[in-house]
Structure 1
Amino acid sequence: MKKLGENVYLDNTIKRQLSASRPAFDQLMALRGEPFRAQDGRVTQRVLLGGKSYFIKQHFGVGWKEIFKNLLQFRWPVLGAKNEWLAIRKLQTLGVKVPVVAAYGQRGLNPARRQSFILMEELAPVESLESFCKDWLRSPPDVRLKRELIEKVARIARELHRNGINHRDFYICHFLLDTAHERDHSRLFLIDLHRAQIRRQTPERWIIKDLSGLYFSSRDIGLTQRDLYRFIKAYTGQALHEAWGSKKLFWQKVRTRGEQLYSDHTQR
């Protein structure tokens, strides 16, 4: 029997792995495996179910202190796995490659104590763009490969922002390259969507935040001015003189904020 405020989704594979005598929500919140991250009332683990590898994010409630702290900083707090669940479903309809959700659940009406989880199939074999590109400055990649990846990232960004989505942690480490297809380096997955926001239209300030995050996180991989222009062309779908001419101030804001992020990071 479901408890008040409880919502659970399970695919057929996961249903077969769970006991019928206990609530599915309780079983999935009790899963333990290889820990990857623990912070802000959230634990991320790698688990095995039926011989298959998954990642599960379990949210145990952030508490009123964290909620008020975020609100006082004019930030909407992340209360559970629902953001990621909704963002993944939305991006799937847009053709953006994201992890496959095998199970999702949320329980509780009190936002400070709400519990939730999201179980996703492990993406493997993959490598983050941060890792894949880290030696580009010393050892430049094939020009065609670099262009292909720049344009792919730009098109993913465009799909998000044109459809009312902003990521909030939009760094190249959150793009995973499918390494099983050596001749198809365009197979990119977008991950870590727990802070994503969905609206009818993405506000410009959130678009700038996302794009400046990309700029900051790719600052040390040896991209040229021409590469940045290539990104702008792919992102806007316009010729450079149109994209730059009509939105020059916008792109200057992206670069200025990206440089500030980089400066703050290097001074830590």
Structure 2
Amino acid sequence: MAGEHLYLREEFKRFWQNKDPFIEAGKIRGKVFREHKARTTLCFDLNGKRYFLKLHKGIGWKEILKDLFQLRLPVLGAGNEQKAVLALTEIGVGTMSVAAFGEKGFNPARKRSFIITDAIEPATSLEDVALQWRENSPVLKQKRAIFRRVCEMARLMHENNINHRDFYICHFLWRGYPEGGSDSVLLDSTQPDLALIDLHRALIHKKLPYRWRVKDLAGLYYSVMDEKPTNGDRFRFITAYSRKTLRAALTEDATLWGEVERKAKKLYKKDIRKGIKKPRIKQ
């Protein structure tokens, strides 16, 4: 049908045979994680398997114009996330797997869409892992393995002209890391299998604009500031991300890393003022 895009993996072809997938997706009920005016995110079980659904309704011209006037790119549907999942998978960045996707309508203000992804279980966000590490310090080898993998994912994403827009450690899931952790996991997992999630605002460019690179890197740095990264941590990230010696990176890319640090600290101070964070670092 014109103006309609649909992908159903085999199990959803069976579940929804001779039915309208858009109607069926709208009937799904489960544990609601987030509910916005035009987007609902929920977790549900079907035939013994767990999935996540993001259901998008048209956001209306008022919201589109509001975002544009505030110099923000509006999220018009699930298409962003579906494209980002495919793009990241192709370049070797761990992410979600799509079980079903649908999008229809020409009018961007009234477009309807949905995306269903497999639940990543067991898994723990790096934000929660970091909280556990405050109580039980990680093995240094493991901590550095996490740094390397996060850095590699950031570099691959940016080298391939993709930016996340919400690039925080809470959006990295460590596959196989059980909730609450365990000594055996802490000791043995030196090659972490990470998945990058929450891609509904991700963008794919012909050439990644500088400002989006800064935004992603600043967001990532901001999100680990409470963990008090050392100079060694920062320098390892910079050299691995830039694939240059530290001297070359700090000389040739001084503007980039200076802006990243300033923006990250500005975000952190803003959250302190709002009471979202309690200061754990010197301002």
Match of 2:231 in 1: 225
Match of 1:163 in 2: 160
Given that 1:78 and 1:194 are in contact with CA atoms closer than 8 Å, whether structure 2 keeps it comes out as yes
Report SS of the residue matched to 1:219.
helix
Question: TM-score, length-normalised on structure 2?
Answer: 0.90
Given that 1:17 and 1:50 are in contact with CA atoms closer than 8 Å, whether structure 2 keeps it comes out as no
Q: Quote the offset at 1:139 in angstroms.
A: 4.2
More helix by share: 2
Deviations 1:176-212 (A, max 9, x none): 0113593335210000000000011111100000000
Superposed, 1:55-204 pairs within 5 Å as 55-137=52-134, 139-180=136-177, 182=185, 183-184=188-189, 185-204=191-210
> Which letter maps to 1:262?
Y
> Which letter maps to 2:149?
K
Could you tell me which of 3, 7, 10 is aligned with 1:9?
7
Deviations 1:119-168 (A, max 9, x none): 00000000000000124445432111111111111110001111110000
> Which letter maps to 1:14?
F
Match of 2:44 in 1: 47
The range that moved more, 53-62 or 180-189, is 180-189
Cα distance in 2 between the residues matched to 1:56 and 1:138: 34
Could you tell me which of 242, 250, 253 is aligned with 2:256?
250
> Which letter maps to 2:67?
N
Match of 1:207 in 2: 213
Q: Quote the offset at 1:26 in angstroms.
A: 1.6
Cα distance in 2 between the residues matched to 1:104 and 1:138: 41
Superposed, 1:17-32 pairs within 5 Å as 17-20=15-18, 22-32=19-29
The range that moved more, 137-146 or 103-112, is 137-146
Cα distance in 1 between the residues matched to 2:200 and 2:109: 17
> Which letter maps to 1:81?
A
Cα distance in 1 between the residues matched to 2:161 and 2:232: 28
Given that 1:42 and 1:59 are in contact with CA atoms closer than 8 Å, whether structure 2 keeps it comes out as yes
Report SS of the residue matched to 2:53.
strand
> Which letter maps to 1:5?
G
Cα distance in 2 between the residues matched to 1:177 and 1:61: 33
Q: Quote the offset at 1:47 in angstroms.
A: 1.2
Match of 1:239 in 2: 245
> Which letter maps to 1:92?
T
Deviations 1:5-25 (A, max 9, x none): 2211001111112242x2122
Moved segments of 4+, more than 6 Å: none
Q: Quote the offset at 1:30 in angstroms.
A: 2.2
Cα distance in 1 between the residues matched to 2:128 and 2:148: 18
Given that 1:137 and 1:220 are in contact with CA atoms closer than 8 Å, whether structure 2 keeps it comes out as no
Q: How many residues align?
A: 265
Deviations 1:63-110 (A, max 9, x none): 111100011112211000000000000011101111110000001111
- Percent identity of the aligned residues? 42
Deviations 1:22-62 (A, max 9, x none): 21222112211111100141000111122210000000111
> Which letter maps to 1:155?
E
Cα distance in 2 between the residues matched to 1:219 and 1:25: 42
Q: Quote the offset at 1:248 in angstroms.
A: 1.1
Q: Quote the offset at 1:118 in angstroms.
A: 0.4
Given that 1:17 and 1:49 are in contact with CA atoms closer than 8 Å, whether structure 2 keeps it comes out as no
Question: TM-score, length-normalised on structure 1?
Answer: 0.95
